[in-house]
Structure 1
Amino acid sequence: MTIYGYARVSTNEQDLTIQREALLKAGCELVREEKRSGTTVEGREELDTLMAFMRAGDTLMVTRIDRLARSIGDLQDIVRKLKAKGVALKATEQPIDTTSAAGKAFLDMLGVFAEFETNLRKERQMEGIAKAKAAGVYTGRKPSIDVAQVRAMHRQGHGATAIAKTLGIGRASVYRVLEGR
């Protein structure tokens, strides 16, 4: 029975030291770390690695449940996979222990709150963008395609592939410009 730790932060600028130290102090023999968004499990190679080599009787330890997943669907999928393997899930800062009914219930509640927090953050971000646009402050990202140059090259007889290669853009972008979208 091995206790494995999983530490995650969302950006490269964030530090994993506090999580790592807490997991090691809690008895983790190995801690896998990554700097990836928790809003999806896609591309989280360290989590995939843990999921692949944990065996029945092992424990996956996180500091908080939002380090594992920010969506209730992803969290439930992870918990189902762990359960199928006979692996327990525990958290150092929350009373989560999937070996007990109360721990499972608390896990689901925390998962809902993690997803709710993510949705609130997205709403605040969209409200801020709308306010900035109304004030004329936010204009969005600068166009990355020179529409006039695409059209000029097309008039000169260049095909979409040549235009895309010359300008360093995708062919689909060239077609969108030429179709007037």
Structure 2
Amino acid sequence: MALIGYARVSTKEQNLDLQLHALKKAGCDIIYKDFGVSATALHRPQFERVLDILKADDVLVMWKMDRAFRSVKHALDILELFDMRGIKMRSLTEHIETSSAIGRCLYILSNSFAQLEIDLNAERTTDGMTIAKEKGVHVGRPRKLLPAMSSFIRYVLAWQPDITHRQIAAHFGISTRTLSRELNAQADPVLEYAQ
């Protein structure tokens, strides 16, 4: 029986110190680490390696279950795979081990609540973006041109028809498509009055 650890962080700026300390303290023989891998990523190179090397009676140890699983379905699929192969799991922070019926039940419930938290966060984010849009707040990537600059460019185009969109876009270091999108984003009352 081997204790195999797994740790993951979502961005390269985060560090694994807390997870690694806990896994070493738990007695893990080997620890596999994924850096900069999103919680929803389908491909987790080191987690996939762990799945390949685990054998009967081994225990996969993780600091917290959300480090390993991207959804409830994924967690249940892995539990089923491990049951067939005689592999157990242990989560250090949730104090869950799948070696007993109660442990497997807690494993399923905990992953269900984790999924609920992800879904609620997504709903809150969507609701917040909708409210922001209704208030006229720009949502998404920052605009390439400030609204005042867009107004100025529209004014120049109205009075200097020989200047092309390509020339203006090159001057500002943006594509002509971005320029058109920015110019069409809002009407300019000053320009409309001038025409």
TM tier relative to shorter chain: 0.7 to 0.9
Deviations 1:126-175 (A, max 9, x none): 1121122112122434799xxx77xxxxxxxxxxxxxxxxx8xxxxxxxx
Amino acid of the structure 2 residue aligned with 1:123 = E
Structure 1 equivalent of residue 181 of structure 2: none
**TM-score of the pair, normalised by structure 1:** 0.74
- Name the CA distance, whole Å, in 2 between partners of 1:130 and 1:24: 45
Question: What's the secondary structure of 1:82's corresponding residue?
Answer: helix
Amino acid of the structure 1 residue aligned with 2:48 = D
- Name the CA distance, whole Å, in 1 between partners of 2:82 and 2:136: 49
Matched, 1:7 2:7: yes
Contact 2:3/2:30 (CA < 8 Å) preserved in 1? yes
Matched, 1:89 2:97: no
Matched, 1:77 2:77: yes
Structure 1 equivalent of residue 138 of structure 2: 138
Amino acid of the structure 2 residue aligned with 1:122 = A
Structure 2 equivalent of residue 52 of structure 1: 52
Structure 2 equivalent of residue 120 of structure 1: 120
Unpaired runs of 5+ in structure 1? 150-166, 168-181
Deviations 1:69-88 (A, max 9, x none): 14110100111122222111
Q: Tell me the CA shift for residue 45 of structure 1.
A: 0.6
Deviations 1:91-149 (A, max 9, x none): 111221111011001001101011001001111111121122112122434799xxx77
Structure 2 equivalent of residue 38 of structure 1: 39
Bigger Rg, which one:
2
Contact 2:4/2:61 (CA < 8 Å) preserved in 1? yes
Quick one: structure 1 residues 101 and 139, their matched pair in 2 at CA, closer, same or farther if it must change by over 3 Å? closer
- Name the CA distance, whole Å, in 2 between partners of 1:17 and 1:142: 34
Question: What's the secondary structure of 1:20's corresponding residue?
Answer: helix
Contact 1:129/1:138 (CA < 8 Å) preserved in 2? no
Quick one: structure 1 residues 25 and 127, their matched pair in 2 at CA, closer, same or farther if it must change by over 3 Å? same
Stretch of structure 1 that moved more, 17-26 or 3-12: 3-12
- Name the CA distance, whole Å, in 2 between partners of 1:64 and 1:43: 19
- Name the CA distance, whole Å, in 1 between partners of 2:140 and 2:19: 36
Contact 2:62/2:90 (CA < 8 Å) preserved in 1? yes
Contact 1:63/1:93 (CA < 8 Å) preserved in 2? yes
Amino acid of the structure 1 residue aligned with 2:73 = G
Contact 1:56/1:86 (CA < 8 Å) preserved in 2? yes
**TM-score of the pair, normalised by structure 2:** 0.69
- Name the CA distance, whole Å, in 2 between partners of 1:133 and 1:74: 34
Q: Percent identity?
A: 34
Amino acid of the structure 2 residue aligned with 1:130 = T
